[in-house]
Structure 1
């Protein structure tokens, strides 16, 4: 009787723990879904912004910066560091590192200086400016007309739109890669530090200009403003016998910002006026 009661209590306890775990897992998934929805809503492309990938007469190369997967050894080394490591170039160097296990390595010690690196980037604010830079103006004077006149977007001249860091910083290219990766993950938008809109690019969307009015159709290149903090440190590979680890010394942090254009997108603003603007 006692054994049966004990077994019943054990089953009840397992069932209760299972229900608690299921409830916690469901709550976590709901919270993650809500956060994802909030992020996607924040960076939802407005109706005034149009994708011109197909129409662009200048074929921009796709910006592809996938997260570099560390090798087993690289991951083991990264896990020993007290400072997070996200720099793709440093991870690539660690992936190319080979350390053989030596059966008679007792007492062996070595410290290898691998240089000073930007180790990781922590984002604090990401926002969109849908009218980052004006790239085109289409205008028609219908002040002498008796009926509405229709115009549409046509790029008058080739336009290069460049982003960049807002301050000077060491290892700027490494920092830009980490900021670009973080911004792409947060916005799910096609980002690049440079995008080109080719001359003659058109869009079929029609805008009507009433009689006795001038119509102005402005085109803007949108961009993402990324702000955060970069952590730097001197990286040492330390070998003690068959043990290996990464030691980070002289850790410093620096605030940084960047403008990153949204590739192959144009934001339109249509204005009708009685007088020239």
Structure 2
């Protein structure tokens, strides 16, 4: 069975082509403002040109560090497209790190997972305090992978207080039946090894977030992870795959509150 359409988001979102330019413009505007105030740094965490992370700082000493990992099916985008999503945590007093990473088909998903772990370790070395992890789509997959035993150094893992995967891909096996697998190059072994669904249940509080107007496949992926990890799944009414992450722009939005609050969200 060909599942390409089941995992095709843009084809089912009105005006989908307008979203990336808007993201890029909003990201550039916030980044330029932070740079003008000396509150933005770009750091290398590895030898490759894409192995960099953007670090955004609040006005006062940070309460801790949020890491946002971007999506794009491990095939597209970079941290520079998503700086605007740092706005909510910044307003709430948190620093925000946004890593880029190498893309398929130049690397495999397992290598991207390792790169994100290195990026988080690098960002954590820059600032003290607690860590909160979030990511969208493939980025949701990647932050969920960080909870696998031994993925992060013990001292970094001990600082992770909460993880909020947004519209995550939790079981990669269906992607082997999509056209994009020509570039992802997933086989059964890697798909299973890279699927958060098959990791041990983490001790860190997790809230899975997904839009109510998303493709059924993404609602399934979110619910599978919630069931496997016995964690809450928040379905945000009316949100599709491209706008479900916008809540991170505002500290009062329930998505941002789920990430930054000191309590685990209710199911």
Bucket of the pairwise TM-score, normalised by the shorter protein = under 0.3
Normalised by the length of structure 1, the TM-score is 0.20
Which structure: greater strand fraction? Answer: 1
Q: Which has the higher helix share?
A: 2
TM-score by structure 2 length?
0.20
More contact order relative to length (CA 8 Å, sep ≥ 6): 1
